[in-house]
Amino acid sequence: MLASVVLLLSAVLLVLFLFQTRRAKNFPPGPRPIPIFGNLLQLNLENPIADLERLAKRYGNVYSLFFGPRPVVVLNGLQALKEALVNKAADFSGRPQDLMVNHAVQVKAHAPGVLLADYNSAWKEQRRFGLMTLRTFGLGKQPMEKIILGETHRIIKLLEQSVGKTMTPQMMFHNAASNIICQVLFARQFDDEDEFMKFFVGLFQETSKIINGRWGMIYDSVPMVRNLPLPFQKVFKMFKASHERRLELLAENKKTRVPGKPRHFIDSYLDELDMRGDDGSSFSEDQLCAYILDLHFAGTDTTANTLLTAFLYLMNHPQIQERCQQEIDNVLGGKDEASYKDRHQMPYVQAVIHEIQRMADTVPLSVFHCTTKDTELMGYSIPKGTMIIPNLSSVLNEEGQWKSPREFNPENFLNEQGEFVKPEAFMPFSAGPRMCLGEGLARMELFLIVVTLLRRLTFVWPEDAGEPDYTFVFGTTQTPKPYCMNVQVRKTVP
């Protein structure tokens, strides 16, 4: 009996020794980790945002945690994020390569796409191509406006069919955002009931919650559980299925492609691949498949969740909705359609949309970064390869940066003369070289969709819906909890 106890204690001490976690000299401070799990058990795995805020108050705006044995530095507040992501961008623009999201998305290990690729010449090459191609297909121009407005009119038809009824908008906005980016990627528009549409929208909604949720954090923190039949295995199956569908889409596209005459993003990429041949560049068909997923995912979930937040707030702040409608009517007059350039004459609408983005806090922890070399930040030493979590949520709600940091208030984006201003702390798309590739498209979508819908319709919170719940379902992207809406056709529509 005594021998068994001694053996057990020895085993426990061995485990504690093997998995001990220590902070290096001058490393940012933080809570004491426990063996194996690090600080995992000290965080609310359903939504750690409040815990991260609490820790910042105790340890400062730059502090550290351990995900299992892995050290992680959390950045909070404008000063820390700006210094890291902008002033020292080259030092902090890497991507960790051993997380659940990497393993799930990178079906081909050598094809990380652009979102998760490490900071190197290949990433720069791919990102440069993406920006150039998005501009070629109308980003910020009339062709893109036409695509967005066309999809917005599909939304209006659905909403007009719901007049006098209560409806749920969740899938409506996701389908619309997906259709817009699909027309850029492969010039196709899908019916809401199309199996392709339902699969990918479901993929984005479900995996977003798992990757940054409870099971994703366990996967990232405790490597020994990765092969167990736990719920995160569903993510791997779904992404494998999505890769197979993208390969089918690519093969189908090749049948009708005319080299040198690109119709969409895929054609442009294949033209680039043909031109380069075997020049040793980062361009490949596997990379294209990964790129398509990056743009489709980012272009769907973030915009859709911001729109859901928009109408949740507008319904419950009818005076703000009405003031937006008045400005829209005054600016557009008898024009058939809104144009993106009209935003310059709509300071209040712009302020409302930006305030919605601030409150939506759609990607609260950005996409994790890592350091590309030994560096320093705000007096602390941070070794090469350290995972970095930019807490964007902390900046969007930072005291001293906003007139009303915790309340929905468009005055956060208006000066004393009623002119639109954008504070430096507004960074829902992150900052620096890793800023969201689709920021321009998202801005255009939000403006044209919100303006067009408010011009035609009024949105009303159902009388029997109770008090609105403004808490979010946490994930890689946050989303409002499901809600219902009533719709009324405006009598003042030209």
| Interval 198-219: pLDDT, tens | 999 999 988 988 888 889 989 9
Q: What is the mean pLDDT of the chain?
A: 90
pLDDT of the residue at 11: 45
- Cα–Cα distance between 101 and 98 in angstroms, integer? 8
pLDDT at 6 > cutoff 70: no
How many CB atoms lie under 10 A from the CB of residue 32? 10
Quick check: 9 pLDDT over 50?
no
Q: What are the tokens at 452?
A: 């067009």
pLDDT band at 108 (very low <50, low <70, confident <90, very high): low
User: Tell me, what's the pLDDT at 22?
Assistant: 73
- pLDDT higher than 60, residue 269: yes
Rounded Cα distance between 321 and 312, Å, is 11
- Per-residue pLDDT tens digits for 216-253: 989 999 999 999 999 889 999 999 999 999 999 999 99
Quick one: pLDDT at residue 488? Answer: 95
Fold of 93-361+397-489: Cytochrome p450 (1.10.630)
Quote the pLDDT of residue 494.
54
Whether 330 has a pLDDT exceeding 80, the answer reads: yes
Sign of torsion over alpha carbons 203, 114, 270, 281: negative
Say whether pLDDT at 492 is over 90. no
User: Would the pLDDT of 16 be above 80?
Assistant: no
Radius of gyration of the chain (CA): 24
For 333, how many CA atoms within 13 A lie in the half-sphere containing its CB? 4
State the DSSP string of 13-49.
HHHHHHT---PPTTPPP-PPPBTTTBTGGGS-TT--H
Closest by Cα among 232, 235, 308 to 472: 308
- What pLDDT is attached to residue 136? 82
Query: Where does the pLDDT of residue 14 fall: very low under 50, low under 70, confident under 90, or very high at 90 and above?
Result: very low
Task: Kindly state the tokens that stand for 206.
Answer: 């479900």
| Beta carbons of 216 and 66 less than 8 angstroms apart | no
Cβ atoms of 266 and 246 within 8 Å: the answer is no
Res 332: pLDDT: 96
Query: Where along the chain do its domains lie?
Result: 93-361+397-489
Q: What is the pLDDT of residue 104?
A: 87
pLDDT at 142: 72
- On whether the CB atoms of residues 402 and 423 are closer than 8 A, the answer is yes
477 or 6, which is more confident = 477
Quick: pLDDT tens for 435-474: 988 888 999 999 999 999 999 999 999 999 899 999 999 9
CB atoms within 10 A of CB 214: 19
Whether 106 has a pLDDT exceeding 90, the answer reads no
The first and second tokens of residue 233, run together, are 């295995």
pLDDT in the model for residue 20: 53
**Whole-prediction pTM:** 0.92
134-138, 144-148, 353-357 — most confident range: 353-357
Residue type, 425: A
**CA 13 to each of CA 6, 10, 16, 66, 70: distance values in angstroms, whole numbers, following the listed order:** 10, 5, 5, 20, 20
Q: Which residues pair with 488 in a beta bridge?
A: 458
393 has a pLDDT exceeding 80: yes
Compute the distance between CA of residue 214 and CA of residue 356 in angstroms, rounded to an integer: 27
pLDDT for residue 25: 87
Comparison of pLDDT for 291 and 139, the residue scoring more = 291
Sequence-separated (6 or more) residues with CB below 8 Å from residue 404: 411, 412
Q: What is the pLDDT of residues 161-207, one digit of tens each?
A: 999 899 999 999 999 999 999 999 988 888 888 898 899 999 998 89
pLDDT over 90 (residue 82) = yes
pLDDT at 141 over 70: no
